[in-house]
Amino acid sequence: MSFEAVLNAIVAGVKPTCRNVEAIPGPLDKETLGRLISTAPAARVAPIGVVAAEAVGNGQTDFTFQFAVYLVTKPTRSLDVGDTLAMVGGILGLLPRATWGLGDVHPVEDDTIRAETLSTADLLAKGVALWAVTWRQTVRMGADMWAEPAINFPPVADARYDDGRFVETAVDLRHDR
């Protein structure tokens, strides 16, 4: 499972709640926030960090990520505070048990879902609302060393001597013969 595939799946899952949704590489910074304000309403999906890792035993590792969706709105004639809260609620409604349609993504850990306003006095003075919705989710990454052999040998070899007898390709080591 690629990390990019996980982020793309989350972006696609969040898109119905806000048309302007993209992935960013980490927590929201002032520069990104400045660009978001000009395109509000907008949402950005970000990995915040890895909070746990556990080897599965087959060459793969389960990484528990902290993810966030940052939602920026700027009330206008067509968008008010109620719409902002509806968008936050829409994102919250997507999260319980979500796997984003990916087999190597474990369901969202429901007890880790949080939503909080990050609006400051300066943002509110500009009429901008900023929310963060966060959660933890485990993603299995790496190659499963038992999934498929690197070389596919034919299951049966049909080797014969010149006289038509089969060449014995196995040895029976049982002692009870």
- Give the CATH number for residue 124: 3.30.2000.10
What is the model's pLDDT at position 163? Answer: 82
Residue 177 has pLDDT above 80, yes or no: no
pLDDT digits (tens, 9 = 90+) for 42-54: 999 999 999 999 9
The mean of the pLDDT values for the chain is 86
What is the model's pLDDT at position 84? Answer: 84
What is the model's pLDDT at position 30? Answer: 85
Q: Is 52 part of any domain? A: yes
CA distance 21 to 23: 7
Range of the domain at 115: 3-141
What is the model's pLDDT at position 29? Answer: 85
Mean pLDDT of 140-163: 69
What is the model's pLDDT at position 93? Answer: 97
What is the model's pLDDT at position 32? Answer: 86
Q: Is 18 part of any domain? A: yes
Q: Is 66 part of any domain? A: yes
pLDDT digits (tens, 9 = 90+) for 15-70: 999 989 999 999 988 888 888 888 888 999 999 999 999 999 888 999 999 999 99
Mean pLDDT of 153-172: 64
Q: How many distinct structural domains can be found in the chain?
A: 1
Of 5, 21, 1, nearest to 94 by C-alpha is: 21
Mean pLDDT of 119-127: 86
Residue 111 has pLDDT above 80, yes or no: yes
Q: Is 150 part of any domain? A: no
Q: Is 122 part of any domain? A: yes
What is the model's pLDDT at position 148? Answer: 66
Q: Is 106 part of any domain? A: yes
Q: Is 148 part of any domain? A: no
CA distance 109 to 135: 7
Report field, pTM of the whole predicted structure over 0.85: no
Q: Is 162 part of any domain? A: no
Mean pLDDT of 95-117: 97
